[in-house]
């Protein structure tokens, strides 16, 4: 028989969201008349912006004509989309990112996993704790970690705790780490990073020849004008950072699928002879070989995000979710909870009361309020004692959920 990739067997069996479903379904079985409000999963709920829909319809019709039909596009994305991204997301913020340095893809989840293809197996790797589980699991699957330990961590990974004590900002490692995953605004904590603090990471990376994998999936939710939207707003970042961006959370593309990765041409790594190798060339080769590009229709939809109507619609969408977050934060404070996040991110990170664990609090909210959230411990050891609520839901449901929580 074929041999399997045994690294997959190291993955912890009971994953977070299946366990949540299991508990919710069991509760519904025993309480058939209950009306559950889900503020758990990080998926958007509002419909697609009209400008994106119109652009996609137009593109679809074009494809039905002899002249407008298109087959394979460039693996890196169409130049017109890469130019708009470069101008609007980078040049306008003073970041000198060229269209060539932008690789359009079908998601940041895959990009942030696939990036490991071009990186050696022996790099030391740091992740925050709690963390977006994709970074950890993709390292496990590719054999970059040891076995999982009793406490759910993996041997060989470096965990940087983020908690109340450090204001949800990871501390800079005292020794050299090769690859560091950072996500700001953060999922799951909703925390942000200032330019001053991000500069410390960029300086650390440049001093230690480390690579920062910066996930900015939630940059559109930033309200505070001082906070960086891109790591390239920081001097020196073009020498040490790869950035992941996605249309999933800003334009509601979670089901449409479009994202992009920025690899500045100035970033290098070493081969075993200590010669410098350009990472852009490796990623370009990787994408050209393993990826055939995002659909023309979807790229036209993404392009519309940068039209004047599109910008307004995205701003309104973000405003809607951020108003939800504000309502949630205020009501939860009124109910006596200590809450973090929610100011520049669609996530509220609740400190679980009393001596409860994250899962105790999950069951408590489910039973007493019929509200579903996500236990912080599902995102890592240091997430224990916290709980994530997402602002992705209708206004009505958000208000209803908060009223129920206040009443318990």
Ligand X SMILES: *Cc1c(COP(=O)(O)O)cnc(C)c1O
Contact 249, 259 (CB under 8 A): no
Task: Out of 59, 102, 183, 322, point to the residue binding ligand X (CB under 6 A).
Answer: 183
Nearer to ligand X, 248 or 382 (CB): 248
187 near ligand X, judged by CB under 6 A:
yes
Three-class secondary structure of residue 250 per DSSP: coil
Contacts of 352 (CB under 8 A, 6+ apart): 358, 360, 361, 376, 385, 386, 387
Report the b/e string of 360-376 with b at 16+ CB within 10 A.
ebbebbbeebbbbbbbb
How far is C-alpha 386 from the geometric centre of its chain's CA atoms?
19
The stretch among 22-30, 102-110, 281-289, 354-362 that binds ligand X (CB under 6 A) is 102-110
Longest distance between any two alpha carbons in the chain, whole Å: 67
- Least Cβ distance, residue 224 to ligand X (angstroms): 19
Structure tokens at 53: 């829909």
Nearer to ligand X, 76 or 246 (CB): 246
Contact 95, 232 (CB under 8 A): yes
Give the residue carrying structure tokens 């074009």: 62
DSSP 200-219: HHHHHHHHHT-EEEEE-TTG
Query: Containing H/E element for 104?
Result: strand 102-105
Nearer to ligand X, 101 or 215 (CB): 215
Structure tokens at 198: 């991000």
Site string for ligand X, 188-217 (x = CB under 6 A): ---------------------------x-x
Nearer to ligand X, 103 or 132 (CB): 132
- Least Cβ distance, residue 188 to ligand X (angstroms): 8
Span 23-52, contacts to ligand X by CB under 6 A: 42
344 near ligand X, judged by CB under 6 A:
no
DSSP 148: B
The stretch among 11-19, 101-109, 195-203, 290-298 that binds ligand X (CB under 6 A) is 101-109
Contact 295, 258 (CB under 8 A): no
Query: Containing H/E element for 157?
Result: strand 157-161
Task: Out of 90, 132, 283, 340, point to the residue binding ligand X (CB under 6 A).
Answer: 132
Q: For ligand X, how many residues bind (rule: CB under 6 A)?
A: 14
Nearer to ligand X, 78 or 244 (CB): 244
Q: Strands 157-161 and 125-129: what pairing? A: parallel
Nearer to ligand X, 132 or 280 (CB): 132
Span 226-255, contacts to ligand X by CB under 6 A: 246, 248-249, 254
Span 276-295, contacts to ligand X by CB under 6 A: none
Give the residue carrying structure tokens 């958007």: 44
346 near ligand X, judged by CB under 6 A:
no
Packed helices 395-407 and 308-334: angle between N→C axes, nearest 10 degrees: 10
- Least Cβ distance, residue 16 to ligand X (angstroms): 13
CA distance 191 to 185: 6
Contacts of 264 (CB under 8 A, 6+ apart): 97, 101, 232, 238, 239, 241, 242, 280
Nearer to ligand X, 380 or 405 (CB): 380
Task: Out of 107, 133, 301, 342, point to the residue binding ligand X (CB under 6 A).
Answer: 107
Nearer to ligand X, 182 or 366 (CB): 182
Nearer to ligand X, 230 or 370 (CB): 230
- Least Cβ distance, residue 107 to ligand X (angstroms): 3
109 near ligand X, judged by CB under 6 A:
yes
Interface residue list for ligand X (CB under 6 A): 42, 107-109, 132, 183, 187, 215, 217, 246, 248-249, 254, 259
């Amino acid at each position: 028989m074929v041999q399997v990739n045994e690294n997959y067997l190291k993955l912890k069996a009971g994953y977070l969201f299946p366990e949540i479903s299991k508990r919710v379904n069991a509760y519904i079985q025993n309480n058939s008349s209950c009306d559950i409000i889900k503020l758990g999963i990080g998926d958007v709920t509002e419909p697609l912006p009209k400008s994106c829909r119109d652009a996609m319809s137009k593109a679809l019709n074009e494809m039905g004509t002899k002249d407008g039909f298109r087959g394979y596009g460039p693996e890196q994305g169409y130049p017109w989309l890469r130019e708009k991204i470069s101008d609007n997301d980078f040049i306008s913020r003073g970041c000198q990112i060229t269209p060539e340095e932008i690789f359009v893809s079908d998601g940041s989840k895959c990009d942030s996993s696939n990036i490991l293809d071009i990186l050696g197996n022996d790099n030391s790797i740091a992740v925050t704790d709690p963390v977006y589980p994709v970074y950890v699991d993709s390292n496990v699957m590719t054999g970059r970690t040891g076995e999982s330990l009793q406490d759910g961590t993996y041997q060989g990974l470096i965990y940087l705790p983020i908690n109340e004590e450090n204001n949800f900002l990871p501390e800079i490692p005292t020794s050299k780490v090769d690859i560091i995953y950072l996500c700001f605004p953060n999922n799951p904590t909703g925390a942000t990073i200032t330019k001053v603090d991000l500069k410390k990471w960029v300086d650390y990376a440049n001093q230690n020849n480390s690579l920062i994998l910066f996930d900015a999936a939630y940059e559109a939710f930033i309200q505070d004008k001082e906070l960086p939207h891109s790591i390239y707003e920081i001097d020196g970042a073009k020498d040490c950072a790869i950035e992941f961006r996605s249309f999933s959370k800003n334009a509601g593309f979670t089901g449409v699928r479009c994202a992009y990765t920025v690899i500045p041409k100035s970033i290098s790594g070493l081969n075993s002879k200590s010669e410098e190798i350009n990472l852009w060339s490796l990623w370009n080769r990787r994408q050209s070989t393993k990826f055939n590009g995002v659909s023309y229709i979807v790229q036209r939809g993404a392009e519309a995000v940068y039209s004047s109507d599109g910008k307004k619609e995205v701003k309104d969408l973000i405003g809607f979710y951020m108003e939800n977050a504000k309502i949630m934060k205020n009501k939860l404070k009124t109910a006596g909870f200590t809450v973090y996040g929610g100011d520049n991110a669609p996530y509220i990170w609740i400190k679980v009361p009393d001596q409860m664990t994250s899962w105790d609090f999950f069951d408590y909210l489910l039973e007493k309020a019929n509200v579903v959230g996500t236990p912080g411990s599902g995102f890592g050891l240091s997430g224990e004692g916290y709980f994530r609520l997402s602002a992705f839901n209708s206004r009505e449901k958000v208000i209803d959920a908060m009223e129920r929580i206040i009443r318990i």
